[in-house]
Structures are given as structure tokens and as C-alpha cells.
Amino acid sequence: MKKFLYIVVLLAIIVGAVTLVFKKDESGSRTKSTGQTANTSDGFNKKQYSTTDPTSIWVVVNKQHVLSPKDDAPSDLVVPNVLLRVPGNESMQVRKPAAAALEAMFADAKTAGLNLMLSSGYRSYAYQVNLYKGYVKTDGQATADTQSARPGYSEHQTGLAADIEPSTQKCEVEQCFADTPEGKWLAANAYKYGFIIRYTADKVNVTGYEYEPWHVRYIGKELAAELHNKHVETLEEFFGISGGKNY
């Protein structure tokens, strides 16, 4: 009888130990699984596109990062089917993905009762040479460097940047554009179409440029949504890339 009770107790101990091990394994498995799920849902792939290749929609161009080659020109420039400030001018072009996004954004703005106009898009290396020289001649180099990029360092040369203004040209490429109905709509909705306001008021030390509420940069809907959801304003901060005011 005693032997029987001993066997029963021993079996109970063994079963209990096995159960405990199973629970620990199960708990560890769930924790690991939860971690993997969190990493998958929150693990945005920052290496999906290059930040240095000029053909990439994520290319980062600033005073610390020049285009390579310096005189690079996109191969897929088109004129978007939107209201243009200077029809026929080189600067009325953007790259194809940016053009499609602009067309959708302008159409939705019009539905909202707002008429947007493309003020400036692509600028070639040669175009930027003349533009930058003009700023330097008028305002001096120090001031010019807060307003205009040196040739090879301009987002406009990528064909992914666009300056937007109201069709009335009110506050045309001026900071007061932010206070217009068009400027407010653009700031609130640009990310939905794959754009960001590239040079914000509180990130001058990061981007190197004064506040430009009219300047949007196409980066694709996925990245634009990620920056919007994470409340990150600049590409430099998101990707951990140097920028700043100095070349």
C-alpha cells in the first residue's frame, strides 16, 4: 500500500514538473511571438529604397549630401496635368510618380473648393547655377544659402520637389502661404498623397533652410504616412542622416 502511494505521489510530482515546464515554454513562446508581431507591425523597413541613389524616391539631398553625379538629371520627367504657373518652362516638369501624386492632390483640393497651382518643379543643374548666382548677387552668399541650394545640392534637381501656390498667386512662395486656406489644406493633407512639407519652421537647424510651407517633397505614400504617424518632420531625423546649415 505504501509502495502504491509512493508511486502515486511520484507520478504527481512528475506530472506537475512537466506541466510547469510546458507553461514556461508556452509563456516564453508567446512572449517571443508577441515581440515578433510588434516588430513586424512597427518595423518599418528604412532600407527599402536608397537614400543616396538619385533615382530613388527616398534620396536625401541637403547641404551635407550632394547628388551623385552632381549634374544628374532624371530620365522620367513629365509635365503634370495641373494648373501651371509658367507653361512650357523646364521647371513645370516633375518625375512621373510625383506627377501622378500632384494630379490626385490638386483634384482633391479642387473638390474641397481650393485651386492649387504648380509654381516650380524640376530645375536642372544649369538652371540652379543661374538661380543661385542671382540670389548671391542680390542678397550675398550667406543669405542666399538660407534660401536657395547650391547647384547639385537642390531637391528640385531630383524632380521630386514642387513649390505649390494658390491659383490667385496670393503669398506666392512666401511664408504667409501657410496661413492661406490652400496652405493649411496642403499642410494637413500632403502626406496622404506621398508628400511632406520639406522645410518646416522648427527644423531650420536640421534641414539648413528657412521655413518654406510651399515646398513639398514626394517620398511615396508609405514613407509619408510613417513620418506623419510618428510625428517626424524631416528625412534627416528619420533616417539619421546629417544635414544642417553648413556645406
Catalytic residues: 212
Residue 19, all three cell numbers: 506541466
Write out the three cell numbers for 30: 508567446
Angle at 119 between CA 222 and CA 237, to 5 degrees: 35
244 in Cβ contact with 206 (< 8 Å): yes
User: How far, rounded to the nearest angstrom, does the alpha carbon of residue 27 sit from its chain's CA centroid?
Assistant: 39
Residues 212, 206 contacting (CB under 8 angstroms):
no
R_g of the chain, CA atoms, integer Å: 27
Nearest to 213 by CA among 163, 161, 170, 167: 163
For residues 128-159, b (16+ Cβ closer than 10 Å) or e, as one string?
Answer: beebbeebbeeeeeeebbeebbbbbbbbbbbb
Grid cell of 106 as nine digits: 490638386
Say how far apart CA 127 and CA 68 lie, in whole Å.
Answer: 17
In a 10 Å sphere around its CB, with 0-12 CB exposed, 13-18 middle and 19+ buried, how is residue 239 labelled? Answer: middle
